[in-house]
């Protein structure tokens, strides 16, 4: 029986991926969400374990890792994220969009790394084509606080997810396998916490010709969770919504810049990685 941890599982892509995976009898699901009522509801529906954690609080991330201590984790799907107005600084001292989408999952992987090694786990990151559409990374302003723009912040955070997956592969494959992917233009509520035009678009009928349902987006996430590295997907790669190689920002195609990005983010969190 495989143990699969999915963050951002209380709604949208994460919830629908969990529903898809629950149909297989050999999956044990641990569903993580920030909303207690919704997280408990989907866990109860699927016979899964629920853990409540808000990635806007890094103490919640550390507590989540502690709750998972000792578990065999076969797949960790870092799916939690969102688009936010800002800049907003969290109690941890980081820009909210960057923390929730990138720093929190980075910390979670760090805290769970020995367990992930033990099970030769797969680490899946829900990124976005926003990495190339809106991403404008700057190593000297990695959180994007200078002339803050919420869409650029989201794009930079999704680019950071992609870079992190690449760097985990470069450092630790084959002890773990990693990939990132764009789930599609999904009619979900990921932008509910913003007044952005993106919220209006995602909540309107205009999305229908261009978008897919959260069920379809969830099936894309489930594909990477369920797929065998080296067969269904290649470790270290980024995939588009058609499960083929996706378009990634030129920044992510430069190994020296990606390595520096990884190091800066690790320094922000005050963490060190094993050789």
- At 250 the three-state DSSP class reads helix
d(CA 128, CA 50): 26
Contact 36, 54 (CB under 8 A): no
Contacts of 148 (CB under 8 A, 6+ apart): 86, 87, 95
Residue with the bigger pLDDT between 197 and 164: it is 164
Contacts of 167 (CB under 8 A, 6+ apart): 258, 259, 261, 262
| Bridge partners (DSSP) listed for residue 177 | 122
pLDDT at 207: 53
pLDDT over 70, % of the chain: 91
Burial of 199 (0-12, 13-18, 19+ CB in 10 A): middle
Q: Averaged over 126-135, what is the pLDDT? A: 96
pLDDT at 160: 99
Average model confidence (pLDDT) for the chain? 93
| Residue-wise pLDDT tens digits, 37-46 | 999 999 999 9
Please indicate whether residue 154 is annotated as part of the active site. Answer: yes
Q: Domain spanning 2-269: which CATH class is it, in words?
A: alpha beta
d(CA 185, CA 193): 18
- Tokens 């409540």 appear where? 52
| Residue-wise pLDDT tens digits, 172-216 | 999 999 999 999 887 655 545 566 656 555 565 655 556 678 999
Options 94, 154, 172, 239, the catalytic residue: 154
d(CA 201, CA 228): 35
CB atoms within 10 A of CB 138: 11
Six token digits for residue 105:
């999952």
pLDDT over 90, % of the chain: 86
pLDDT at 220: 96
* Torsion on CA atoms 188, 190, 192, 198, rounded to nearest 10: -80
d(CA 200, CA 206): 9
Nearest to 7 by CA among 46, 50, 47, 45: 50
For the entire predicted model, the pTM comes to 0.92
Question: What is the enclosing helix (H) or strand (E) of 213?
Answer: none
Domain limits, the chain: 2-269
Q: Averaged over 66-71, what is the pLDDT? A: 96
Burial of 25 (0-12, 13-18, 19+ CB in 10 A): exposed
pLDDT at 16: 97
Lowest mean pLDDT among 195-204, 220-229, 245-254, 266-275: 195-204
């Amino acid at each position: 029986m495989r143990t699969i941890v999915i963050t951002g599982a209380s709604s949208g892509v994460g919830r629908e991926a969990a529903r898809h995976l629950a149909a297989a009898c050999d999956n044990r699901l641990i569903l993580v969400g920030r909303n207690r009522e919704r997280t408990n509801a989907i866990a109860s529906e699927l016979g899964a374990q629920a853990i409540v954690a808000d990635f806007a609080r890094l103490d919640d991330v550390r507590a989540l890792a502690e709750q998972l201590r000792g578990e065999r984790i076969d797949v960790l799907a870092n799916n939690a994220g969102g688009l936010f107005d800002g800049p907003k600084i969290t109690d941890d001292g980081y820009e909210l969009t960057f923390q929730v989408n990138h720093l929190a999952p980075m910390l979670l992987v760090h805290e769970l790394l020995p367990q992930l090694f033990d099970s030769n786990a797969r680490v899946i990151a829900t990124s976005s084509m926003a990495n190339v559409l809106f991403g404008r990374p700057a190593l000297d302003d990695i959180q994007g606080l200078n002339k803050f723009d919420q869409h650029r912040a989201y794009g930079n955070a999704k680019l950071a997810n992609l870079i992190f997956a690449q760097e985990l592969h470069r450092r630790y494959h084959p002890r773990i396998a990693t990939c990132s992917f764009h789930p599609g233009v999904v009619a979900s509520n990921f932008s509910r916490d913003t007044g952005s035009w993106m919220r209006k678009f995602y909540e309107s009928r205009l999305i229908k010709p261009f978008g897919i349902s959260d069920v379809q987006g969830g099936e894309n996430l489930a594909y990477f969770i369920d797929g065998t590295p080296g067969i269904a997907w290649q470790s270290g790669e980024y995939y588009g919504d058609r499960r083929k190689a996706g378009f990634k920002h030129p920044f992510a195609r430069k190994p020296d810049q990606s390595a520096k990005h990884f190091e800066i983010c690790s320094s922000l969190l005050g963490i060190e990685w094993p050789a």
